[in-house]
């Protein structure tokens, strides 16, 4: 693939971002409270207000920030939480990202690419655990073009196990393609196309990505433009925390989101903000140049929740159990569970494989253990894929979301998919807990909605599957 970057502009103005960050270091407490009051209206925040909140360090103001984020999260998303698992397809890569175990110079890493049969085997294992949404992850190698990626997606969708076992939404995290390549992914029905800029600081980016396609900053920066041009409505963006100053990268990420909104009428469907994790033969992954503390990380999640209230926030198993639990209340709307980070991992009895994996994970629990904890914490796990299958994506989704649609549709759909999980995959104890939660949730619905949902729950008990509103 030839990377065409002539005419592409760098719409991230680094000097302006630093000006915003530097001019907001001292913000009076009263001003912070004003911003938090504004944030409660759930209309989002300007970059300046977002930068001011990112500078909050004071414990009392931090608590006020958390309280506001909890309220906004509760109002828009309620207590539902979407679950997914990553599925690594290949760890072969010709790039040399300084922080990644898959970089080409890591000669100790065992390279693996799943065949169609391997994919079917992995998908069956995940389906038998109850997963319905997968994120396929790929290293970048000239051997693997858009046609090959599209084939792997088809293989996943075509793998159907017993009970209700089928994957209903395949999201993708692969290196940026050209418009034609993205069109191929769109045609095979991918959900979200996800790609992280890692850092928007150009000098740092250049240092960390010395060779391969990823060296080309502008090609990556315009990946979402090309994906949207190819018809992919839902895109997921992110930065890798620890590479550069998190305030700079967060404001840059939000500027990138604003650029998409102004060009295509809709910003990203999701944001991710992974922190660097240890990876084989990557000194930087063990000792990040800009480490971000747990306290700052929590504040960052709360600020993002207020800055872009309708954008999904994703948390991966890079974070440990305690951290994941705290972040749910502050704004996370999608969570990976039971994850492993190398190709073939789900068919492998051993989960600690530094010789093949991309990085170490912080939460090794299986899906059911995660679900039990979520339920104990009052959350409803959801595998809902209704919007994407009903064409409610991109701008259309955002419009509906702003009208309170998430509570009206997503919440009932969460209960319906959870019921399927309980019947098909859960152990008895989890099933009892889950059924109690569903009964309790139903009490909060208006009579008409309650009847519709209760009727569908009964139909699911009688064997119907994949019912949604
Ligand atoms: N190869 C493609 C790319 O780089 O865009 C997609 C797959 S790559 C495995 C997915 C993401 O993993 C990267 O965008 C990067 O943010 C993240 N990543 C790489 N090394 C990591 C590490 N040591 N800790 C945490 N995340 C890491
Ligand atoms: Fe390859 Fe992606 Fe890892 Fe970079 S982050 S080495 S491109 S897999």
Q: What local confidence, expressed as pLDDT, does residue 1 receive?
A: 81
For 414-435, the pLDDT digits (tens) are 999 999 999 999 999 999 999 9
Report which ligand 2 atom has the smallest distance to the Cα of 214: 7
- CA–centroid distance, 336 to ligand 2, in Å, is 20
> Which residues, 6+ apart, have CB-to-CB distance to 288 below 8 Å?
99, 241, 242, 243, 275, 276
Are 336 and 322 a contacting pair, CB within 8 Å?
Answer: no
- CA–centroid distance, 162 to ligand 2, in Å, is 35
- CA–centroid distance, 100 to ligand 1, in Å, is 6
Nearest CA, atom 11, ligand 1: 196
- CA–centroid distance, 169 to ligand 2, in Å, is 24
- CA–centroid distance, 196 to ligand 2, in Å, is 11
- Rounded to a whole number of angstroms, the distance between the first and last alpha carbons of the chain is 42
Domain positions in the chain are 14-73, 79-387, 398-461
> Which residues, 6+ apart, have CB-to-CB distance to 227 below 8 Å?
177, 182, 193, 235
Establish whether residue 137 lines the binding site of ligand 1, counting it when its CB lies within 6 angstroms of any ligand atom: yes
Report which ligand 2 atom has the smallest distance to the Cα of 358: 3
Q: What local confidence, expressed as pLDDT, does residue 351 receive?
A: 64
Helices (H), ranges, 308-410: 321-330, 367-376, 386-389, 394-402, 405
Whole-structure pTM over 0.85, yes or no? yes
Q: What local confidence, expressed as pLDDT, does residue 428 receive?
A: 96
Determine the longest span between alpha carbons in the chain, in angstroms: 62
**Percent of the chain residues past pLDDT 70, beyond the cut:** 96
- CA–centroid distance, 91 to ligand 1, in Å, is 11
**Can you list the residues of the chain whose pLDDT is less than 70?**
163-164, 318, 351-352, 393-394, 396-398, 400-405
- CA–centroid distance, 260 to ligand 2, in Å, is 24
Report which ligand 2 atom has the smallest distance to the Cα of 94: 1
Give the whole-angstrom CA distance, residue 273 versus residue 294. 13
Establish whether residue 12 lines the binding site of ligand 1, counting it when its CB lies within 6 angstroms of any ligand atom: no
Q: What local confidence, expressed as pLDDT, does residue 453 receive?
A: 94
Measured from the alpha carbon of residue 354, the closest ligand is: 1
Contact residues of ligand 2, CB 6 A cut-off: 93, 95, 97, 100, 102-103, 139-140, 175, 214
Are 81 and 328 a contacting pair, CB within 8 Å?
Answer: yes
Report which ligand 2 atom has the smallest distance to the Cα of 103: 6
Are 271 and 307 a contacting pair, CB within 8 Å?
Answer: no
> Which residues, 6+ apart, have CB-to-CB distance to 5 below 8 Å?
216, 218, 219, 222
Are 448 and 390 a contacting pair, CB within 8 Å?
Answer: no
Q: Which fold has domain 79-387?
A: TIM Barrel (3.20.20)
Which helix (H) or strand (E) segment holds residue 271: the answer is: strand 270-272
Q: Provide the token pair at 427.
A: 């152990």
Measured from the alpha carbon of residue 240, the closest ligand is: 1
Are 246 and 208 a contacting pair, CB within 8 Å?
Answer: no
Q: What local confidence, expressed as pLDDT, does residue 388 receive?
A: 72
Are 357 and 408 a contacting pair, CB within 8 Å?
Answer: no
Nearest CA, atom 8, ligand 2: 139
Nearest CA, atom 6, ligand 2: 103
Q: What local confidence, expressed as pLDDT, does residue 449 receive?
A: 86
For 178-220, the pLDDT digits (tens) are 999 999 999 999 999 999 999 999 999 999 999 999 999 999 9
Q: Which of 276, 175, 274 is nearest to 223 (CA)?
A: 175
Nearest CA, atom 2, ligand 2: 139
């Amino acid at each position: 693939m030839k990377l065409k970057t002539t005419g592409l502009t760098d719409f991230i103005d680094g000097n302006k971002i630093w000006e915003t960050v530097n001019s907001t270091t001292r913000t009076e407490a009263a001003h912070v409270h004003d911003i938090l009051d504004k944030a409660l209206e759930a209309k989002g925040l300007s970059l300046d207000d977002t930068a001011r909140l990112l500078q909050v360090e004071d414990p009392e103001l931090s608590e006020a920030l958390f309280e506001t984020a909890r309220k906004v999260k509760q109002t828009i998303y309620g207590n539902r939480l979407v679950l997914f698992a990553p599925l690594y397809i290949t760890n072969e890569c010709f790039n040399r990202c300084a922080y990644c175990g898959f970089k080409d110079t890591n000669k100790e890493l065992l390279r693996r690419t799943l065949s169609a049969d391997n994919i079917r085997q992995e998908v069956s294992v995940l389906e038998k655990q109850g997963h319905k949404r997968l994120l396929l992850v790929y290293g970048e190698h000239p051997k693997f073009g858009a046609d090959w990626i599209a084939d792997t997606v088809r293989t996943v969708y075509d793998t159907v196990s017993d009970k209700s076992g089928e994957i209903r939404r395949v999201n993708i995290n692969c290196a940026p393609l050209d418009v034609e390549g993205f069109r191929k992914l769109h045609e095979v029905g991918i959900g979200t196309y996800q790609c992280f800029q890692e850092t928007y600081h150009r000098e740092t980016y250049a240092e960390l990505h010395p060779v391969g396609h990823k060296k080309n900053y502008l090609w990556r920066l315009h990946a979402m433009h090309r994906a949207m041009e190819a018809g992919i409505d839902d895109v997921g963006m992110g930065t890798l925390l620890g590479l550069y100053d998190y305030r700079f990268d967060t404001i840059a990420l939000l500027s990138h989101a604003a650029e998409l909104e102004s060009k295509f009428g809709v910003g990203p469907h999701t944001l991710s903000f992974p922190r660097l994790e240890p990876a084989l033969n990557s000194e930087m992954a063990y000792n990040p140049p800009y480490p971000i503390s747990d306290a700052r990380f929590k504040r960052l999640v709360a600020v993002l929740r207020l800055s872009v209230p309708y954008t999904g926030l994703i948390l991966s198993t890079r974070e440990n159990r305690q951290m994941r639990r705290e972040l749910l209340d502050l704004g996370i709307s999608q969570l990976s569970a039971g994850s492993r980070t190398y190709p073939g991992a789900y068919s492998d009895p051993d989960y600690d494989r530094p010789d093949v994996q991309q990085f170490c994970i912080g939460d090794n629990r299986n899906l059911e253990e995660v679900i039990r904890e979520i339920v104990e914490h009052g959350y409803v796990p959801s595998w809902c894929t209704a919007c994407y299958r009903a064409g409610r994506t991109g701008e259309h989704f955002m419009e509906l979301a702003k009208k309170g649609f998430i509570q009206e549709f997503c919440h009932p759909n969460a209960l319906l998919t959870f019921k399927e999980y309980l019947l098909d995959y859960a152990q008895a104890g989890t099933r009892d807990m889950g059924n109690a939660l569903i009964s309790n949730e139903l009490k909060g619905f208006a009579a008409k909605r309650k009847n519709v949902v209760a009727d569908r729950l009964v139909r699911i008990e009688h064997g119907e599957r994949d019912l949604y509103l």
